[in-house]
Amino acid sequence: MAIPRQLPNAITIARIPLAVVFFVLLLLGGTYGAEDVVIRWVAGALFVLAISTDWVDGYLARRYDIVSDFGKLWDPIADKLLTGAGFVGLAILAEWPWWVVIVILIREWGITVHRFIVAGNHIVAAAWMGKLKTAFQGVALGWWLLPLHQWIGMDWWTGIGIVLMYATLVLTVASGVDYVISQVRGSRADRA
């Protein structure tokens, strides 16, 4: 079965408006869904759906050999907009500490800016550790965004959520360090 060559890129770009809608719904739902638990469920489900498209567009591009420089550049940006909306939303609602969110966002957007700077010379695709980091961020954010505490109790939900939050922080920083080391090695190899 042939698929349109631009389908993976269209899926990638669709995550951008989904991030905006998700963010608004998250804030309307309120802390732990206190303002409107239905809206919080919808926001969480929309996030899970949107972050799942990251796997779909990548799979389609690789499966049908239609990987593009556009996709390599914009896929991580769309991911960062979506996860960034989740991190900032949770910090605004006082569910995640601001310092954790700021550290994560500095790493995420620092690397994104670097990708844009070097895009004229070469496109930096996400490495395995960056992909693992994005998957882990998706799981951690999905856990916090869905008001599962209604079913499993606040203590369990919060305990597991805190472990996921700090594991996400460590993996995000580690993948940032890995990215910098890879870029420095690549730069040295280019000069040699």
Contact at 8 Å (CB) between 81 and 15? Answer: yes
Output the pLDDT for position 125: 62
Measure the CA dihedral 67/70/73/74, to 10°: -110
pLDDT digit string, tens, across residues 5-18:
788 888 999 999 99
**Looking at residue 105, what is its pLDDT?**
97
Tell me what the mean pLDDT of segment 171-191 comes to.
Answer: 83
pLDDT of residue 37: 93
Least Cα distance to 49 among 138, 126, 137 occurs for: 138
Per-residue pLDDT at 156: 92
CA distances (Å), origin 107, targets 65, 84, 100, 141: 30, 11, 11, 17
Question: pLDDT: is 114 or 102 the higher one?
Answer: 102
Q: Which residue segments constitute the domains of the chain, with CATH numbers given?
A: 7-185 (1.20.120)
> What would the pLDDT profile of 66-89 be if each residue is shown by its tens digit?
888 788 778 888 989 999 999 999
Task: Give the span between the Cα atoms of 89 and 26, in whole angstroms.
Answer: 7
What's the pLDDT at 145?
96
> Cα–Cα distance between 89 and 115 in angstroms, integer?
25
27-60 per-position pLDDT tens digit: 999 998 889 999 999 999 999 999 999 888 888 8
Is the pTM for the entire model greater than 0.85? yes
Please indicate whether residue 101 or residue 2 has the higher confidence score (pLDDT).
101
